[in-house]
Every structure is written in C-alpha cells, then in structure tokens.
Structure 1
Amino acid sequence: MSIKNKIKTFFTMDDEYEYVEEEVDIPETRSNQKQKNQNVVSLTSMQHSSSKVILCEPRTYNEAQEIADNIVNRRAVVINLQRVDHQQAKRIVDFLSGTVYAISGDIQKLGSQTFLCTPENVDVSGSISETFEEEDEYEKGW
C-alpha cells in the first residue's frame, strides 16, 4: 500500500467495523419516580392554605403566641382587642408586629380596637378610613 492510499484511508470514513445501536430499557426505580414527583406542586393545597382567616378575641397577653402561630402558618388573623386592657393590647400589637415583620407580612388597623395581620401570601387591597370625629380613649396610645 502506498502512502497515498494510507492517507486516503486514514481521512476517509471507510470503516471496517459495523456499528449496531441497541436500545436498552432501564426500569424506573422508586428513587427516580420520587425525583420526578418532587417537581409536582398541588395547586389545591396551595389555595386552601392561603384562604383561611382566623378570628381572635384575646383576653390576656398570653394568647398572643397562639395568634402568632397562626400567622406563621400562613393564615390571616383578625384580632379584636375589646376584651383586653389598654397596656396588654399594646403589648399584643407590638408582639404581632414583630411576628408579621419577621415573615414579611403586613398588619393593618381595621377599627379602633381591631387589627388584621396577614402573612406574605395574602394580598390586601383597599383601605378603611377612620370617620370618627371623637378620638377614642383607646386610640390615644396609638
């Protein structure tokens, strides 16, 4: 064989071998199935958790932690502070303000003694204007 033929066979696609492609079927294991299912999010569970509103009427400061637990669990909470004395009500609002801030939520005053605490997954639109001509004794502290 001459050098010319050797170079020609080296650079051409003349193969002496025959390639056969075989398709191999690998059965899916449970770990592969789990990895595929981890990307699936149930929209119904997301809707139920964000649509719950809790109404609370605390009587002591000790109930503030239970209210905060609801907010941390992504539930909106309406708090009526009519049954709590003024000092404890201020402490409750301060505690819940810190809780709401920690989870990037929001706290809004609905009335003279009523507040709405919402986690970040709840959007509140609109506002309530105060139409009280007399300033309530309770509001002087806020």
Structure 2
Amino acid sequence: MSFKNKMKNFFTVDDEEYEYVEEQPEEQEEIEPYRQSGRNQNQNVVSLKSVQSSSKVVLCEPRTYNEAQEIADHVVNRRAVVLNLQRVDHHQAKRIVDFLSGTVYAVNGDIQKLGSQTFLCAPDNIELTGSISDMLEEQDDYNKRW
C-alpha cells in the first residue's frame, strides 16, 4: 500500500461502516390516545387569556413630573391607569403624557384621552374598544359657543 492510499483511507469515511436509521419521535404515539373527537374536545379547551389574574385599575392624580415613573411602573406591572392631570401645569402635564406614551408603547398597550385633562393608559392585557374623543370635541365646541 502506497503512502498516497494510506492518506486517502485515513481522511475518507466508508459509508459501509455506518448504518443510518431514522426514528420517529415518541411524542406522536403518546398524543394520539389523548385526542378526543366531536363536541367534547371543544368543551375542554380553555383560553389562557381567561386564566390571567384579575385586572386592576389605578387612579392617579400627579402634582409634579417626578411622579411619572411611579405611574409608568403601574402600566409595566399590567395595571390600567386613569390619569387626572388637573393639578399639574400644562408644560409638566405634556411631559407626563409623553413619558407615559413611551411606556405604553413599550408594553404594546394603548393610551386614550378620556377628557380634557384625563387619560387612560392600558397595557396589552386590557382591551380598549370605542372612542369618546369625537363626542368631547363636539361638547367643547358647544361649550365655547355659550
């Protein structure tokens, strides 16, 4: 045997030495006996959204911008926050709403204006439907006339 053949045999793998066997996962066999047919199968299904703990709503009335972090912590902890900004000057109120808008965006939530100085910040576990801002604008226009 030449040196060249020895090197070739050293670096090549013979397919005859190895036997390839495909195995099916055992999980499929275990799942089959548990499957039910017909109507009973749908009755045993429980939505994971309904299993979540009860939702809480927090009412906040900040007096300064420094309280925005505490309010944001409520939203991050999956609690809805009703925010009354009547006791804060306009500049600080705008900063608080901007800060909370970023927080709500980060948790895939929603923020809606409820009144002229009232907002609702809701995380993604709270579903908000409807809108009242159209009615508020009409009411503001009505009040301006009188």
TM-score bucket of the superposed structures, by smaller chain: 0.5 to 0.7
- Structure-2 separation of matches of 1:89 and 1:62: 11
- Which structure's CA Rg is the greater one? 1
Matching residue of 1:79: 83
Q: Which has the higher helix share?
A: 2
Measured after TM superposition, the shift of residue 47 of structure 1 is 3.1
- Structure-2 separation of matches of 1:73 and 1:116: 15
RMSD in angstroms over aligned alpha carbons?
1.8
Amino acid at match of 2:140: F
Q: Which residue of the other structure, out of 85, 95, 101, is the alignment partner of 2:99?
A: 95
Matching residue of 1:56: 60
- Structure-1 separation of matches of 2:66 and 2:80: 19
Asked if 1:47 is matched to 2:53, the reply is yes
Report sequence identity in percent.
Answer: 71
Deviation readout 1:8-43 (Å, 9 max, x if unpaired): xxxxxxxxxxxxxxxxxxxxxxxxxxxxxxxxx8x6
Report 1:1-142 matches (<5 A). Answer: 46-48=52-54, 51-128=55-132, 129-130=135-136, 131-133=139-141, 134=143
Q: Which runs of 5+ in 2 are unaligned?
A: 1-47
Q: Which runs of 5+ in 1 are unaligned?
A: 1-40, 136-142
Matching residue of 1:139: none
Measured after TM superposition, the shift of residue 101 of structure 1 is 0.5
Q: Normalising by structure 2, report the TM-score.
A: 0.59
Aligned length: 92
Secondary structure, aligned partner of 1:112: coil
- Structure-2 separation of matches of 1:69 and 1:47: 18
Runs of 4+ residues deviating >2 angstroms: none
Measured after TM superposition, the shift of residue 124 of structure 1 is 1.0
Q: Normalising by structure 1, report the TM-score.
A: 0.61
Secondary structure, aligned partner of 1:132: helix
